[in-house]
Amino acid sequence: MPTIPARQRAINTLGPDGGRVYDVLRSMSPKLSAYFAATLTGTRLPDDVDLRRRSAMRIGALACQGATDGQLERAVLSALDHHVEPAEIVEAMIHTIPYVGIPRPLNAIIASKGPLGQRAMLPVVLEEPTWSADQRMEVGLERILQAHPTAALDLRANLASIAPSLFDYIARAAFGDIYGRPGLTYAQRQPITIVALVAQGNVSNHVRTHVNGALTIGMTTSTIAGALVDVVDIVGTERTLQGLEIAAEVFAERGADKSALGQTW
């Protein structure tokens, strides 16, 4: 039987938009487009793909969608098979709360009790922050400035004349209470953030900010672009395309090393 070309496999799986995603990835890196085709057809992924990171990120994307069905169950079981700890699975869902609100991640967290219970991994013990409530703001400011030194100051200035306390709330609640939780590293959280925003659609400025932040904390172009490839079946081709196009623009603006695309994951 003749081999079906990778681009055609993408079209066969996702329709015409699958071909568009393939073309965008091909223009960035041939290896990325090949990786995309492999994720769609269930063929063996490259040896250098971080399956733990990929598993946790897909769970975050499903939490954004409010998934409580068999897809979430399969994702949780797959994450466990790839040695993701139960606490990391729950933390990945908690991390999406600042971007999609409480109801969807809450439903997903409760639904995850099913597959975790199948593996006798309940109760899940989460590592909680050790700082006091008074230190939340300090921790939040440290986290937000670590990845977004310029954007954070611009946001504070932009809110000063309309909602000055909102910046403090974002720093304290989103970056102190959520980003500051010890269960996941900053590098593990940032791809989940990007995917959560892309899943919402129509938030290109925020996607841009967090792609910039990912580069600032040392994430590679491959990890960022690969994160979007990893969830195309969850967030959809149109939103994946939007995210990839924004990422490509940021890479160009930052002079990021695009030659590394597809070399490390």
The tens digit of pLDDT for each residue in 164-177 reads: 999 999 999 999 99
C-alpha to C-alpha distance for 153 and 75, rounded to whole angstroms = 38
Domains of the chain: residue spans and CATH: 50-128 (1.20.1290.10), 129-180 (no CATH)
pLDDT tens for 218-262 read 998 888 988 888 888 888 888 988 999 999 999 999 988 766 565
Categorize the per-residue pLDDT at 21 as very low, low, confident or very high, splitting at 50, 70 and 90.
confident
At 113-169, the pLDDT tens digits run 999 999 999 999 999 888 887 788 999 999 999 999 999 999 999 999 999 999 999
Return the HEC string of the chain: CCCCCHHHHHHHHHCHHHHHHHHHHHHHCHHHHHHHHHHHHCCCCCCCCCHHHHHHHHHHHHHHCCCCCHHHHHHHHHHHHCCCCHHHHHHHHHCCHHHHCCHHHHHHHHHCHHHHHHCCCCCCCCCCCCCCHHHHHHHHHHHHHHHCHHHHHHHHHHHCCCCHHHHHHHHHHHHHHHCCCCCCCHHHHHHHHHHHHHHHCCCHHHHHHHHHHHHHCCCCHHHHHHHHHHCHHHHCHHHHHHHHHHHHHHHHHHCCCHHHCCCCC
Helices 51-64, 86-94: crossing angle, 10 deg rounding: 40
Q: In whole angstroms, what is the distance from residue 109 CA to residue 201 CA? A: 23
Instruction: Please determine, for residue 265, whether its predicted confidence score (pLDDT) is greater than 70.
Output: no
The Cβ of residue 1 has, within 10 Å, a number of other Cβ atoms equal to: 3
Assigned token pair, 234: 């969850």
Altogether, the residues listed in the chain come to a count of 265
Greater model confidence, 178 or 40: 178
Task: Give the count of alpha carbons within 13 A of 7, CB side only.
Answer: 11
Nearest to 58 by CA among 37, 68, 47, 72: 72
Closest CA to 94 of 76, 114, 108: 108
35, 151, 264 from 226: Cα distances, Å: 8, 24, 10
210 closest CA partner among 264, 142, 148: 148
Question: Which pTM does this prediction carry?
Answer: 0.87
State yes or no: pLDDT of 4 exceeds 80: no
Amino acid sitting at position 170:
I
Rg, C-alpha atoms of the chain: 19
